[in-house]
């Protein structure tokens, strides 16, 4: 994905074994009032998906839990990214067959402000690897909330 500003560019990612990587700089994805499947900016439904080097902001939905990245598939990796000013940075569902890996990423100022939305909320997955990240200034919610069966935070 070329470095540029993408406004209202929301989608459901159904493909598996996919890498989405920003090149020649970091692409800026502004939801700008739009939401895929009424859930967020990118709804990841495929398995074994990696997102690398993107900036995402502006995710909002009627339920007040719009996510920059909504995880519904199995096994997801996020690296080298910046998720900010969304109702949720990442929101994942329950999938005890899934591993979520997040590395070298910054989360800031996510949350609707009601205490029920967060910089990131990882549901009941098998494993969460959260390393080398900077999560700060969540709007009332948690900087990291996880229900993973195994958490490795470094």
**pLDDT tens per residue, range 101-143:** 999 999 999 999 999 999 999 999 999 999 999 999 999 999 9
Q: What is the DSSP letter of 117?
A: -
SS3 for 25?
coil
Whole-number pLDDT of residue 25: 97
Question: Are 108 and 137 spatial neighbours (Cβ–Cβ below 8 Å)?
Answer: yes
pLDDT the model gives residue 46: 99
Give the pLDDT confidence score for residue 61 in this predicted structure. Answer: 98
Phi-psi region of 87 (alpha: psi -120 to 50; beta: other; left: phi over 0): alpha
């Amino acid at each position: 994905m070329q470095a540029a500003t993408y406004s209202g560019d929301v989608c459901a990612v159904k493909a598996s074994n996919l890498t989405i990587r920003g090149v020649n700089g970091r692409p800026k994805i502004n939801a700008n009032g739009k939401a895929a499947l009424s859930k967020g900016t990118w709804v990841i439904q495929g398995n074994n998906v990696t997102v690398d080097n993107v900036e995402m902001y502006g995710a909002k939905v009627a339920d007040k839990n719009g996510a920059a990245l909504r995880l519904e598939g199995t096994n997801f990796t996020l690296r080298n990214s910046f998720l900010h000013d969304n109702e949720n940075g990442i929101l994942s569902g329950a999938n005890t067959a899934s591993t979520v890996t997040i590395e070298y990423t910054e989360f800031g100022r996510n949350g609707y402000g009601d205490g029920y939305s967060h910089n990131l909320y990882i549901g009941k997955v098998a494993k969460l690897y959260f390393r080398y990240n900077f999560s700060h200034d969540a709007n009332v919610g948690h900087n990291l909330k996880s229900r993973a069966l195994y958490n490795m935070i470094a």
